[in-house]
Chain A
Amino acid sequence: MTNSIPEIEDASCVLVIGSNTTEAHPLVSHRVFRAKLKGATLIVVDPRKIQLTLQADIHVPLNFGSDVAFLNGMMHVILKNSWHNPQFVSERTEGFAELQAHLEKYSPEKASQICGVPPEEIERVARLYATSECSTILYTLGITEHSHGVDNVKSLANLAMLTGHIGKRSSGVNPLRGQNNVQGHCDMGALPNVFPGYQVVTDENIRKKFETAWNAKLSDKVGYTIPEMMDRLIDGSVKGMYIFGENPALADPDTHHINRALDSAEFLVVQDIFLTETAKHAHVVLPGASWAEKDGTFSNTERKVQRVRKAVEPLPGTLPDWNILCELGARMGLSMTYTSPEEVFNEMASLSPIFSGMSYARLEADGIQWPCPSADHPGTLFLHEGKFTRGRGMFSVIDYRPPEEMPDDEYPYLLTTGRRYAHYHTRTMTGNCPTLHKEFPAPFAQISFADAEKLGLKDGDSAKVISRRGELVTPVRPGDIVPPGSLFMDFHFMEANPNVLLGTSLDPVSKTPDYKVCAVKIEKCPAET
């Protein structure tokens, strides 16, 4: 996030796009409600009538995957009416002329043909967002998990820079990250192109710094992304795989493909607290400790590093994960002997400028938000004040590209996926919480009343959902949440896991798979006798 979560409540206009905030980030939605109570305008852009739309001033039910067209339409209107921020554009950005010329063709009428939002509604949203004093954007995987996810994010950045709604308190572009430490594990350089603190592996000086600190020869070649790793397991060029606390056998799209990849590994190690579907493929399974059984830190979505504290001893037979990794490092002959996670943190901070001012003592009270470059630096509540990381903000020229697989005659329905409030990912944790299981014991797919009637499906009936990759059977629940022609499924339950249906089309830049749009057909299952 460019901003901090508490700042949301002081925004005067909150644009939520591709985020089912009340279910996926309940304590962020609380801030959105507060903003609303303080008089903010709430705009929710989502094809589904999610819970947050009930609080919204405007719900924009755009067509699935049409965000770029909608956002370009908004920017066209903003420029036409001079609602943009010329001072911000001239002082802080570059590439404006190209963007302006490009947006000419995205009249609201043209955008409307693609996104299905009436031109006057595009104009209304554009006016409210652009002319509010302090507008902020919240987005989640509804923006990123597309084969054009990077285009979506860049379009949001264009919109924020065009209107100057970034780089100040309560105003910015805010991805709400989905996991406790999804921010942190990226910050730690567990990515193929960067060392800890986003220092690129291709920079010789940076590489030398790490080579000296770690006493090892390091590669200057960018590594493989997850989808590439899976493909290379199948073609045999990757032979050994180490999976640390993740469950790709259930979580990744095109399950059959992933299972084939995992089974192709010559040697697969899985470190986890449960025998996950992924661990069942492994040659070695190492039992780690849960978060309540070890010390450390997590970084939340607002870049705040906060302490994780050991409350109870690890379950007998298990080891804290940092101990396991130190043991392996020692066996590899690496200098990886640490007496505590704090010692690891200090080494990391000494090598990463954005963390160098942090220590456990300083994190003790309420955590610190990076960048925090020195011991007297208070941390950074919001990013890009006065200047962007690269200097001037670069506008990107983005054209609408349709999702790679849209419904057709053979597969006439559009499947989209997401979360439920009581569960989390592949349910390895929440499925083992009796209270949550009782709250939400089984999956169901949501379809529109109209489609349910057409297919002869009643609440609780079983339907077979078939895509080009696979099929599954799920109970259905007709309602008015999803628009006609579409189907929503959560990805929590193994017994009806939509990942078997999804394709492997990837965003060309981020290599993020499209989890949000896939074509399926739906058949009513015969009643059980």
Chain B
Amino acid sequence: MDYRFVKTTCPYCGCGCQMLLEVLDGNLIGTMPHKTAPMNQGKLCIKGWNAHEFVRSPNRLTTPLVRKNGSLQEASWDEALDVTVSRLREIKEKHGGESVAFLSSARCTNEENYLLQKFCRAGFGTNNVDACARL
């Protein structure tokens, strides 16, 4: 039996509460508040206490999808990534980098958002990247 707690940051609001994810044999089974974190000092709200529940939701996407003949169909990672880059590149070449736009994610990590804006700016030569923080 492999039973451990992994300290992490809550995925919901901007408070940044520290939590411990309870992991049993590679499965996420619970969430506990971190007792000494200065932010939340052993407390969580109802969303935080249940944060582990959506991770293994049966509604999660588990395969890339590519639209074919009008409907989204399962595809391999290689196909989906290739289609993405070739179509975006085609638009850039035909209409210029300004004709591509990116929406960043307030839910994803700093590192991922850094990569997204780098992909946009370095790959397409445009600053058309915006954050939902505006909304």
Contacts and interface: CB of A to CB of B under 8 A. Distances in A.
Interface in A206-265: 210, 214-219, 221-227, 229, 232-233, 237-246, 248, 251-253
A422 interface: yes
Interface string A12-30: 0000000000001111101
B101 A435 contact: no
Question: Which residue among B27, B83, B107 has the maximum number of chain A CB atoms within 10 Å of its CB?
Answer: B107
A181 B11 CA distance: 8
A178 interface: yes
Interface string B67-106: 1000010010100111111011101100101111111111
Contact of B100 (A238, A429, A510): A238
A307 to B, nearest CB: 7
A177 B14 contact: yes
B77 A319 contact: yes
B95 to A, nearest CB: 6
A3 to B, nearest CB: 13
Interface residues of B, number: 98
Interface string A254-287: 0000000000001101011111000110111111
Given A240-B88, A285-B65, A306-B9, A188 B46 contact: no
A283 B66 contact: yes
Given A191-B130, A328-B119, A429 B65 contact: no
Given A219-B125, A240-B91, A284-B66, A331 B130 contact: no
Contacts of A460: none
A329 interface: yes
B80 A26 contact: no
Contacts of B119: 325, 328-329, 332, 334, 336
B108 interface: yes
Given A238-B100, A245-B107, A321-B108, A182 B133 contact: yes
B9 A307 contact: yes
Contacts of A512: 134-135
A505 to B, nearest CB: 13
Nearest to A317: B62
Given A25-B13, A238-B101, A184 B109 contact: yes
Nearest to B95: A239
Contact of A300 (B16, B102, B128): B16
Task: Give the interface size class of chain A.
Answer: 35 or more
Contacts of B89: 332
Contact of B125 (A217, A251, A298, A317): A217
Interface stretch (A91-99, A341-349, A389-397, A406-414): A341-349
A186 interface: yes
Contacts of A439: 46
B107 A179 contact: yes
Contacts of A433: 47, 50-51, 53-54
A331 B84 CA distance: 10
A9 to B, nearest CB: 11
B133 A322 contact: no
B8 A284 contact: no
B16 A306 contact: yes
B127 A221 contact: yes
A434 interface: yes
A288 B81 CA distance: 13
A18 B118 CA distance: 35
Contacts of B11: 180, 290-292, 429
B134 A329 contact: no
A293 interface: yes
A423 B47 CA distance: 7
Contacts of A317: 61-63
B87 A283 contact: yes
A242 B132 CA distance: 13
A30 B43 contact: yes
Contact of B101 (A24, A229, A338): A229
Nearest to B97: A219
Contact of B105 (A26, A246, A286, A301): A246
B131 A275 contact: no
A227 B134 CA distance: 9
B130 A192 contact: yes
A26 B46 CA distance: 9
A315 interface: yes
Interface string B115-132: 111111111011111111
Contacts of B80: 284-286
A294 interface: yes
Given A291-B8, A307-B8, A309-B6, A251 B132 contact: yes
Contacts of B9: 180, 291, 297-298, 300, 306-308
Contact of A225 (B27, B44, B81, B130): B130
A226 B104 CA distance: 10
A173 to B, nearest CB: 15
A190 B129 contact: yes
Contacts of A240: 87-88, 91-92, 99-101
Contact of A285 (B14, B52, B59, B61): B61
Nearest to A506: B134
B86 to A, nearest CB: 8
Contacts of B64: 284-287
A264 to B, nearest CB: 12
Nearest to A421: B46
Contacts of B67: 282-284
A312 interface: yes
Contacts of A423: 47
The 4 closest A-B pairs by CB, nearest first: A300-B16, A296-B109, A245-B105, A190-B104
19 contacts: A177-B13, A180-B107, A185-B104, A185-B108, A190-B129, A195-B121, A218-B121, A219-B121, A223-B127, A225-B130, A232-B101, A238-B128, A286-B84, A297-B109, A312-B26, A317-B62, A322-B109, A432-B53, A515-B135
Given A181-B113, A189-B129, A334-B118, 8 more contacts: A6-B39, A180-B9, A229-B130, A243-B103, A285-B61, A296-B108, A296-B111, A300-B14
